[in-house]
Copies of this chain bind each other. A is one copy, B any other.
Amino acid sequence: MAKLCDEPVTQIHIRPGMTVNELVSAMGRAGAYNGGSLHRAVEIYEQMLRNTETTKFFGLAGAMVPAGMGGIVSDLIRDRHIDILVSTGANLTHDIIEAIGCRHFHGTAFCNDVELRHDEINRIYDVYLPNEAFVHFEEFMQDVYGKLEPKSTISISGLLRHIGSNLKSGILHTAAKNGIPVYCPAVQDSMVGLQYWLFSQTNAVTVSAFADMPALMDCCFTAKKAGAMLVGGGVPKNFILQSMLMTPNGFNYAVQLTGDRPDLGGLSGATLDEARSWGKITEEAQAVTVYGDATITLPVLVAAVMERMHHD
């Protein structure tokens, strides 16, 4: 018992003007439930970023860009804290929309959606996006797709790099500029994909579904250490974790921010311990799941880690 009970819970006392890392450290001394897990996530993510041998994967699922989380991701790319980004197509669509100068707006989830339809506003929970943005988006996308070499075969990450190199801000731009690959296995499942379908009606470029696999797998085979920062579940989480399955390696660090729950059996809510049984993460991997909305946990996590890294 002595061994099991050696680190006491310390009650939190707030001081006006605390920095984010000071507060997270207090949450770590309290140490319980998801507050404790968030502190542990800060510890692991800090180690993962500091370990220069680590290949750093970042999974981005959920409608994070419409919620203003895209700025955090593009800054992490700029600062070389992401080596490989795996995203849903939706986040990239909204990233492009912001990069071409359109905006998302503060709205409300308690509204009449038929009226919104009449007002030509698309809703993402409490975020509003005017239809007009998709007019500009279509114009931009068709223009960019039109610059693709006719009759060529291209990978999905190649397509996204092409798009990013035609933008001046945002995730795709920063990734293209810094040579960071962006994988998006289900690119068809997004407006980026629908625009490509439109383009392909009259143009012959082949996007190869598997062309990205060799480079990714090489990266997994050669990684000395690997770390995964997972925002949400979905394809990005699964694609990142499964990438180690064919190799003798596994992830050494893993942090998951999710609002899902494990008991439904889906991978999005699955614990990272479950991933140990598959060998996706190593037996000794440092891993933690923080349950909650990533619009809260991601900014707090990154702010605390950046504060710690800055003190060197």
Contact = CB atoms under 8 A, between A and B. Distances in A.
A248 interface: no
Interface in A5-64: 5-20, 23, 26-27, 29-36, 38, 61-63
Given A18-B20, A238-B189, A277 B117 contact: yes
| Chain A binding surface, main DSSP class | mixed
Interface in A283-312: 283, 291-297, 299-300, 302-303, 306-307, 309-310
What is the total number of copies of this protein in its complex? 4
Interface string A70-83: 11101100000000
A119 to B, nearest CB: 5
Interface size class, chain A? 35 or more
A259 to B, nearest CB: 4
Interface string A270-284: 100111111100010
A23 B20 contact: yes
Interface of A: 1, 4-20, 23, 26-27, 29-36, 38, 61-63, 65-72, 74-75, 90, 98, 103-107, 109-110, 113-114, 116-117, 119-128, 130, 153, 156, 185-191, 193-194, 196-198, 200-201, 206-210, 212-214, 217, 232, 234-235, 238-239, 242, 245-246, 259-270, 273-279, 283, 291-297, 299-300, 302-303, 306-307, 309-310
Contacts of A63: 265-267
